[in-house]
Structure 1
Amino acid sequence: MFKNRLILTILAAGLALPALADGDADKGKKVFNKCKACHAVGEGAANKVGPQLNGIIGAAAGQVEGFKYSDALIEAAAGGLVWDDESLAAFLAKPKDFMKGTKMSFAGLKKEDEIENVIAYLQGF
């Protein structure tokens, strides 16, 4: 019974992938330059002003070891926030609107294609 449910869950997740997964990772790498002052990805990535972002897509919020999150993010994580394409896109567009009290000082990415592309880039880590 569990095995069947697991298979169905995996299939449903695969079919439910949002359009954001269609972003261009190469273009996203360039967009990520706006993020590099505070975040790192890739082998050896370490926390900076913000947490390292390896494995962020599909991860529960607030799980990067050794990073001191804002109370707002800790509360959102306790409420079950997962960084899927949709939630990450909303956060990247307007961090302070998405999460009142976030420590992230970045104003946000204004162009939808930049958001899609940076998410595609992050999916590679």
Structure 2
Amino acid sequence: MIRPAALTSLAMALMLAACGDSDAPAPAPQPQTHGGAPETTATPQEAAAILATLGEPYASANLDNGRRLFRRCASCHTLGSGERHLVGPNLHGMFGREAGGAEGFRFSRALEQADFVWTKAELDEWLANPRTYLPGNRMSFAGLRNDADRNDLIAFLAVETRR
């Protein structure tokens, strides 16, 4: 049984902590999200520079649509440097990386044995239909049939997973 004096002390401590009158450090700010898709960490100028290196159609892609589309991916993938793997690997630094090459993630045999590097063209084909692009992979995503949606998602990923 908790004594009334203990309850009073606990209530006072909680009130002080809630009001910020505590010696404990404030928690680190968390990235803003939109239903699982992170806010962009790039300035508009940085994003434009990254997309310009990809050329069209990515340079004029809709990053907001790409962010919305990434919501479908966010339950399995993270994007930030040092973030953990989920059901799927963390995608940070994926462009230019060997397929099946994210350190610390256990890939399907199909991806471990795949002989390609992630480029915008490879990712475009993969996102259209991962099952037919690389039979035997474990990704349970049906694919994005719409070209413009794939372009927007690839552009968003290029900005958010830059090295």
Fold similarity call, TM over 0.5: yes
1:1-125 equivalences in 2 (<5 Å): 17=54, 19-22=56-59, 23-76=61-114, 79=115, 81-124=116-159, 125=161
Q: Deviations over 1:41-62 (max 9, x none)?
A: 1254210000011111222211
State TM-score, norm by structure 1: 0.78
1:57/1:25 CA distance change after superposition, 3 Å: farther
- For the residue of structure 2 that corresponds to 1:19, the secondary structure is coil
Larger radius of gyration: 2
Taking the aligned partners of 1:25 and 1:57, their CA distance within structure 2 comes to 17
**Alignment size in residue pairs:** 108
Taking CA–CA contacts closer than 8 Å with sequence separation of 6 or more, which of the two structures ends up with the larger relative contact order? 1
**Unaligned residue ranges in structure 2 (runs of 5+):** 1-52
Which consecutive aligned stretches of 4+ in structure 1 deviate over 6 angstroms post-superposition?
none
Among the aligned pairs, what percent are the same residue? 37
For residue 99 of structure 1, report the CA deviation from its aligned partner. Answer: 0.1
Contact 2:66 2:155 in 1 (8 A): yes
Taking the aligned partners of 2:100 and 2:88, their CA distance within structure 1 comes to 11
Q: Deviations over 1:17-36 (max 9, x none)?
A: 45343322222111100101
More helix by share: 1
Q: Deviations over 1:65-93 (max 9, x none)?
A: 110000000111xx2x0110111000001
